């Protein structure tokens, strides 16, 4: 099918209209624009989607932006997202990591550096943990675990829950590192270790309850382990 100059002009105008929609002050318009972009992917949309991810305040719209990016060829999205990992904007880093975890292309793994896994911003670090666990190549899990355990005891409950879930997703490979971390002087770290071990044994257990129980065990000087 031959594309005439008139057809191309219409396509260009439609593309420009949708890109403007991504920046509309109304969240509902931005959401519809992201849906439309993902439903009819074009190379010209990728840069606009990535840029919007860095500043979009609404979770539902960010989620749709990520979905729209997953609909585009990885050859276009991967380089753009990897560039965002070096951004000074925390949301840019966090959302790029989240999107990479959805695309699931293992070539992104080397870009998830120790600096990202230990980022000072909790949301960036949490996104890095989730992405790393999804993308880590077979055989490199112990090296990843060695970095993740340095974050035990970090932040509020939600951050600790994210770290524990990331560790548990890696399976039994985490056990030696957890046992080593159990000797930490910080009682918060030791409690987090015990809560993570409990989650590994029983993935359906509630993390908050596991943390409270672990804190009681640590306060009493116990290990909380069976046998």
pLDDT tens across 48-98, in order?
A: 999 999 999 999 999 999 999 999 999 999 999 999 999 999 999 999 999
pTM over 0.95: no
Same domain, 16 and 124: yes
Same domain, 124 and 152: no
Report residue 12: phi and psi, to 5°. -65, -40
Same domain, 118 and 143: no
Domain count for the chain, please give it.
2
Residue 193's domain spans which residues? 136-227
Same domain, 148 and 85: no
| pLDDT for the residue 222 | 57
Q: Which of 128, 163, 183 is the last residue of a domain?
A: 128
- What is the per-residue pLDDT across 1-37, written as a single tens digit (0 to 9) for each? 555 777 777 888 889 999 999 999 999 999 999 999 9
- Do the domain assignments include residue 88? yes
Query: What are the tokens at 34?
Result: 């992201």
Same domain, 100 and 148: no
| CATH number for the domain that contains residue 87 | 1.25.10.10
Same domain, 162 and 212: yes
- Do the domain assignments include residue 3? no
Tell me the mean pLDDT in the region 126-147: 98
- Do the domain assignments include residue 86? yes
pLDDT at 226 over 60: no
Mean pLDDT over the full length of the chain: 92
Q: Which of 128, 148, 179 is the last residue of a domain?
A: 128
Same domain, 108 and 167: no
- Do the domain assignments include residue 4? no
- Do the domain assignments include residue 73? yes
Same domain, 110 and 86: yes
Same domain, 169 and 211: yes
pLDDT at 227 over 70: no
| CB 53 within 8 Å of CB 65 | yes
Same domain, 104 and 33: yes
Query: What are the tokens at 88?
Result: 């000074």
* Burial 167-188, CB ≥16 within 10 A → b, else e: bbbbeeebeebbeebbeeeeeb
Q: Which of 90, 112, 128 is the last residue of a domain?
A: 128
Same domain, 121 and 39: yes
Same domain, 107 and 58: yes
Query: What are the tokens at 36?
Result: 């439309």
Residue with tokens 């675990």, as numbered in its chain: 145
């Amino acid at each position: 099918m031959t594309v005439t100059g008139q057809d191309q002009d219409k396509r260009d105008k439609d593309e420009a209209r949708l890109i403007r929609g991504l920046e509309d002050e109304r969240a509902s318009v931005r959401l519809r624009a992201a849906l439309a972009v993902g439903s009819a992917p074009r190379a010209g949309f990728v840069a606009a989607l990535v840029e919007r991810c860095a500043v979009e305040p609404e979770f539902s719209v960010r989620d749709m932006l990520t979905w729209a990016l997953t609909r585009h060829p990885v050859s276009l999205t991967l380089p753009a997202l990897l560039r965002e990992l070096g951004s000074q904007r925390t949301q840019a880093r966090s959302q790029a990591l989240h999107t990479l975890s959805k695309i699931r292309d293992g070539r992104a793994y080397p870009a998830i550096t120790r600096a990202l896994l230990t980022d000072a911003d909790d949301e960036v670090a949490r996104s890095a943990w989730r992405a790393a666990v999804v993308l880590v190549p077979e055989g490199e899990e112990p090296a990843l675990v060695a970095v993740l355990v340095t974050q035990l005891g970090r932040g509020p409950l939600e951050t600790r829950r994210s770290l524990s879930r990331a560790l548990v997703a890696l399976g039994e490979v985490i056990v030696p590192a957890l046992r080593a971390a159990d000797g930490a002087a910080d009682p918060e770290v030791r409690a987090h270790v015990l809560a993570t071990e409990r989650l590994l044994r029983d993935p359906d257990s509630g993390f908050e309850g596991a943390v409270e129980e672990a804190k009681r065990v640590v306060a009493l000087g116990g290990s909380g382990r069976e046998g």
